[in-house]
Structure 1
Amino acid sequence: MVSDYCFFSLRLLKALRAFCRFAALSLSLTLATLMVGCATQPVEPKVKTTVGDPQQALVLAQKGSAAYEQGDISGAIEAWQRAVELNHNDAAVLNNLALLLKQKHRFKDAAELLAKGIKQSPNVADLHYNLAIISEIYLLDLDRALTHYKRYQALSANEDKKVTGWIADLERRLD
Structure 2
Amino acid sequence: MVLDCTRNAGICLMLLAVAALSGCAATHKGSSYDKAQTQPVPSPEQAEVLAREGRRAYEQGEVESAIQSWQSAVELNPADVVTVNNLALALKDANRFSEAVTLLEKGVNASPETAELHYNLAVISELYLLQLDKALAHYQRYQQLSVTEDKAVAGWIVDLERRLQ
CA distance in 1 between partners of 2:162 and 2:65 (Å)? 42
CA distance in 2 between partners of 1:147 and 1:174 (Å)? 12
Task: Name which structure has the greater RCO, CA cutoff 8 Å, separation 6+.
Answer: 1
CA distance in 2 between partners of 1:92 and 1:122 (Å)? 13
Map of 2:91 onto structure 1: 101
CA distance in 2 between partners of 1:121 and 1:72 (Å)? 28
Q: Map of 1:1-175 to 2, 5 A cutoff?
A: 52-175=42-165
Report the alpha carbon displacement of residue 144 of structure 1 after superposing the two structures with TM. Answer: 0.2
Report the alpha carbon displacement of residue 69 of structure 1 after superposing the two structures with TM. Answer: 1.2
Q: Which runs of 5+ in 2 are unaligned?
A: 1-39
Report the alpha carbon displacement of residue 116 of structure 1 after superposing the two structures with TM. Answer: 0.3
Map of 2:8 onto structure 1: none
TM-score normalised per structure 1:
0.71
Corresponding residue SS for 1:96: helix
Report the alpha carbon displacement of residue 51 of structure 1 after superposing the two structures with TM. Answer: 6.4
TM-score normalised per structure 2:
0.75
CA distance in 1 between partners of 2:92 and 2:127 (Å)? 11
Corresponding residue SS for 1:81: helix
Q: 1:144 to 1:51 in 2, by over 3 A?
A: farther
Q: Figure out how many residues of one structure are paired with residues of the other and give that number.
A: 126
CA distance in 2 between partners of 1:113 and 1:71 (Å)? 22
Q: 1:118-144: per-residue Cα shift (whole Å, max 9, x none)?
A: 001000000000000000010100000
CA distance in 2 between partners of 1:105 and 1:152 (Å)? 23
Contact 1:51 1:87 in 2 (8 A): no
Q: 1:5-50: per-residue Cα shift (whole Å, max 9, x none)?
A: xxxxxxxxxxxxxxxxxxxxxxxxxxxxxxxxxxxxxxxxxxxxx9
CA distance in 2 between partners of 1:145 and 1:71 (Å)? 29
CA distance in 2 between partners of 1:51 and 1:123 (Å)? 25
Give 1:129's aligned amino acid.
Y
Q: 1:51 to 1:114 in 2, by over 3 A?
A: farther
Corresponding residue SS for 2:147: coil
Corresponding residue SS for 1:147: helix
Runs of 4+ more than 6 Å apart? none
Corresponding residue SS for 1:68: helix
Q: 1:41-81: per-residue Cα shift (whole Å, max 9, x none)?
A: xxxxxxxxx96111100100011011111111111000000
Q: Which runs of 5+ in 1 are unaligned?
A: 1-49
Corresponding residue SS for 1:117: helix
